Structure 1
Amino acid sequence: MARLGRSFGFLLSSTALSNLADGVLKVGAPLLALSFTRSPVQVALVGAAATLPWLLLALHAGAIADRLDRRRVMVLANVVRAVVLLAVAALGALGLMNLWIMLVAVLLACVSEVFADVAAQSVLPMTVTPAQLTTANGRVVSTQMIGNEFAGAPVAGLLVTLLPAAVFGAPALLYGAAGLLLLGMRGRFRPPAESAAESTGRRSMAGDIGEALRYLWGHRFLRTLAVSAGLLNFASAAYFGVLVLWVVGEGSRIGMEPAGYGLVMTALAVGAVAGSLVSDRVTQLFGEGRALVGLWLISALLHLVPVLLPIDWLLYPTAVVWGAAGAAANVLVISTRQRLIPAELLGRVNSAYRLIGMGGMPVGAVLGGVLGELAGLPAVFLSATGVCLAAVGLLWRVVPDQISSPLTSDATIPDISRSRSAPKGVR
């Protein structure tokens, strides 16, 4: 940790707390929804509320991250969601909670998450050197998975059973503490072009967003990566939006208790931590292109296991492999973007990428619920698997063996993905 610097240490510590809060909220909210309804459509609305802000606000969050101090954006976002969730926890303690209040709470918390996450991915390259990006992102992703799944999931399962209002109260306190930790970061965290913008006059936000969209669309590999990620996330939102109905409860196919479902998420986190820490080694062995395609292919095929083999104990090893493949791929993708995108465009292009990559998730969650209502849950799972395999095939057509190398802030970056025989570089 020490060699990555003080600022990265505070950033990582804040990430640990905020992602523990994310884990409690992400797992706890759908489980809590089961106390109000067993409708696939209504349960899927929880996933839609969690992802809709990415569709509506990702581009604006990126523009703000490229204009303001990125650390301050993160601090404010954490404070806002802490206040919102504390208010909702109070309503729950008073017995005034219902499905619609819960949906509004998730929606508002995830609005703040958009701004916090875009700023966090943009500020990380300002705390470490380009050569340290893969190591730093590996630690961040492993920390995220420990919080989101390893610790957050079982805590959520316990809170839903013992103290439902704490599903919102505990994350509120964690978000507040995460915001305070960010104050320990030293330095200036405005984007490099800020001083130039102040001296020459600032363009409109629409102009800033347009510049990012043109850059992303003009880079063939980043464009294809974003579209492929969008298909994967669209399908995964449909899949996981209704998976709890297949796994948890007396009317489910597998029949797990809520605590058991939390442990499955913990198993996924164990795999994810391992995958994030060995991602650099996997890349060195197979090359970035083959590693990314292979990891996404494994993740896609694992969607079939709960459907074809609905056995409770089998979910645990499946989740471990699932988590390892997904986390290793995430480290590779995030590090690649941070190296390929110029520093002064990082917030905006990252947000444009994530709009394409995550903007379809609320639509996927709702469509998954509708399809589950009309055709049954297996239809959702099989359709999602088919979309994931199509996304892997799309990426395979353009990805080179080595994707990225450390770059300067030059706005003109060669498109290395037009040929599978592109020169190899250092990721």
Structure 2
Amino acid sequence: MLRRVLPRELGVPFRWLFGSMTVTNLGDGLLLAAGPLLVASLTRDPLAVSFAIFAQRVPWLLFGILAGAVVDRVDRLRLVMVADALRVVVVGLLALLLAFDEVTLPLIYLVFFLLGTAETFADNAASTLVVQLVPRAQLGRANSRIFGSVMITNQLAGPPLGAALFTVAGWVAFGANAVLCALGVVLLLRLRSSSLSRRRPAEHGETPSAPVTVWAQTAEGVRWLLHHPPMRTLALMILLFNITFGASYGVYVLYAQERLGLDGLGFGLLMASSAVGGVLGSAVYGRLEVRFSYTALLRAGLVLETLSHAALALTRSPWVAGAILFAFGVHATIWGTTSTTVRQRAVPDELLGRVTSVYLLASLGGMSIGTLLGGWVGQQWGIVAVFWAAFVGCCLTLPFLWHPMRHIGRAAA
């Protein structure tokens, strides 16, 4: 089974990285349910609930670009380990305070901000490690395995388990997250420095300069992306569509409770339905990658995402909402795998950390903006209005990006 999931072509070092990412993503999945449930237990204000997610995303706006330069300057494996260790400390302290009932909303916002800061560096570095560990021809395969693992652990197993643990005691859910992050650090220790020394040479005949300062390196990465039309389009696409997605995602817990009538465990199961679709997307990605162009996969996914917002606004049935999120999970895995593979193949390794930071800044920065907008819309006009606003935003954005998407497939080639 291990050889089928992680074939020998991906290499033994990738298995250790995959294992570490799997357990830490399971820990993050616990917080996907436990975090909103904790905030919702203290306030019913949609803006206050969505602000917790914003606090976790805003570090990308503050440090995202700088993180890319840091990733390209330091030992990437060590950076991931330090960031994960920071998460162990922060979440462990929150669990301790929860056990003594000493938690307030400002404290929760601070914890989520620190977690987001650690993720800003760790997620960027982990993405670049895949390129160093896996042969170029196997990147699509490796990324599909990672996205499939994320769906199983982060969204399928994690939210229901996190909700169940939270009903037992809040500190149990957050303490479990700290333990899983610590296990992730232990697994990273199995990676040897020699396995990470291989770097992919610069492509397209480019020989990027080697500026001395972090800020000069940061500017070089930004300039590269701005002058590369396919990558520029991909970053703009994820920015705009994550604003609309972030708006609805920030109020999911209130949508599940007030619109669908679900309890905490029901909310966790609803989130898990998206992960089941993600697992399917991971399983079929290899066949889709062979039969369809990257452009076709991206376009189909964005159409599905647009329609999903309207469908969620129209239904009151938990079963229908679960089916919609199942389809969305299929799209999310296929779209995420495609965009990651294109970026890893198109960007020279010397610039990968910096260009990835700009892309992730657009991705999570869009989520940050969207969560605040969604919270404000929900506060003014109700939860359902958030999903209609997301639908309208997608309808306005999709025609604008449809034609430029045709160049993205060429970048991967």
Question: TM-score, normalization: structure 1?
Answer: 0.90
The match for 1:197 is none
Q: 2:409 aligns with which of 386, 403, 407?
A: 403
**Match in the other structure for 2:86:** 80
User: What's the counterpart of residue 179 of structure 1?
Assistant: 185
CA distance in 1, matches of 2:138, 2:170: 41
Question: What amino acid sits opposite 2:323 in the alignment?
Answer: P
- Deviation per CA, 1:159-184: give whole Å up to 9, x if none: 22111112321111111110111111
Matching residue within 214, 221, 225 for 1:212: 221
Q: 1:346 to 1:367 in 2, by over 3 A?
A: same
Match of 1:267 in 2: 273
The Cα shift of 1:12 comes to 0.3
The equivalent position to 2:153 in structure 1, one of 147, 150, 153, is 147
Give matches, 1:193-232, under 5 Å. 203-232=212-241
Question: Contact conserved, 1:47 with 1:365, CA < 8 A, in 2?
Answer: yes
CA contact (8 A) 1:292 1:332 kept: yes
Aligned letter for 2:232? Answer: R
Specify the alignment match of 2:284 in structure 1: 278
Choose the corresponding residue for 1:324, options 322, 326, 330: 330
> Is 1:69 the counterpart of 2:75 in the alignment?
yes
CA contact (8 A) 2:310 2:388 kept: yes
| Aligned-partner Cα distance in 1 for 2:325–2:39 | 23
1:247 is aligned to 256
Q: Aligned residue for 1:349?
A: 355
Percentage identity across paired residues of the two chains: 34
Q: How far does the alpha carbon of each residue in 1:216-261 deviate from its partner, in whole angstroms, 9 at most, with x for none?
A: 000111111111110111111111111221211xxx1211111111
- CA deviations over 1:2-49 (Å, ceiling 9, x no partner): 331111000000010110111111221111111101001110111101
* Contact 2:71/2:354, CA 8 A, preserved across alignment: yes
Contact 1:287 1:401 in 2 (8 A): no
Shift of 1:117: 0.3
Say if 2:225 and 2:232, in contact at 8 Å, map to a contact too. Answer: yes
Counterpart contact for 2:132–2:199, Cα < 8 Å: no
Structure 1 position 59 matched with structure 2 position 68: no
Q: Which of 189, 208, 214 is the matching residue for 2:196? A: 189
Output the CA distance in 2 between the equivalents of 1:331 and 1:57: 24
1:163 is matched by which residue type in structure 2? A
Note closer, same or farther for the CA distance 1:293–1:385 as it changes in structure 2 (3 Å cut): same
**Which segment drifts farther, 267-276 or 128-137?**
267-276
Partner of 1:18: 24
Q: Give the whole-Å Cα distance in 1 for the aligned partners of 2:198 and 2:136.
A: 16
Aligned to 1:42: 48
Which moved further from structure 2: 340-349 or 158-167? Answer: 158-167
Amino acid at match of 1:292: L
Aligned match of 1:410: none
Match of 2:340 in 1: 334
Give the secondary-structure state (helix, strand or coil) at the position aligned to 1:37: coil
Please give the alpha-carbon distance, in whole angstroms, between the structure 1 residues aligned to 2:137 and 2:12.
17
Could you tell me the TM-score, scaled by structure 2's length? 0.93
Match of 2:380 among 374, 384, 402: 374
Output the CA distance in 1 between the equivalents of 2:210 and 2:363.
32
Which has the larger helix fraction? 2
1:387 to partner: Cα distance: 1.8
One-letter code aligned to 1:97 = V
Range 287-296 or range 6-15, more displaced:
287-296
The residue number in structure 1 matching 2:166 is 160
| Residues 231 and 408, structure 2, Cα contact 8 Å, conserved in 1 | no
**Which runs of no fewer than 5 residues in structure 2 stay unpaired?**
1-5, 202-208
- The answer as to whether partners of 1:13 and 1:181 remain within 8 angstroms in 2 is yes
Let me know the Cα RMSD of the aligned residues: 1.8
332-341 or 200-209: which moved more? 200-209
Counterpart of 1:122? Answer: 128
| 1:90-141 superposed Cα distances (whole Å, 9 cap, x missing partner) | 1111111122222211111121011110000111011111100000000001
**Residue pair 1:19, 1:148 contacting (<8 A) in 2 also:** yes
Contact 1:299-1:325 within 8 A present in 2 as well: yes
One-letter amino acid matched to 2:114: L
C-alpha change, 1:379 and 1:190, in structure 2 (3 Å) is farther
2:190 partner amino acid: G
SS at match of 1:176: helix
User: In the aligned structure 2, how far is the partner of 1:167 from the partner of 1:26?
Assistant: 11
Aligned to 1:29: 35
1:188 Cα deviation after fit = 5.1
Structure 2 CA distance for aligned equivalents of residues 278 and 395 of structure 1: 26
User: Which residue does the alignment assign to 1:111?
Assistant: 117
Asked if 2 retains the 8 angstrom alpha-carbon contact of 1:296 and 1:326, the reply is no
Contact 2:238 2:366 in 1 (8 A): no
Equivalent position SS for 1:96: coil
Letter in 2 for 1:203: V
Match for residue 238 of structure 1 among 243, 247, 251: 247
Summarize the Cα distance change of 1:377–1:402 in structure 2 as closer, same or farther, 3 Å threshold: closer
Q: 1:339 to 1:404 in 2, by over 3 A?
A: farther
Distance 1:358 1:45, change over 3 A: same
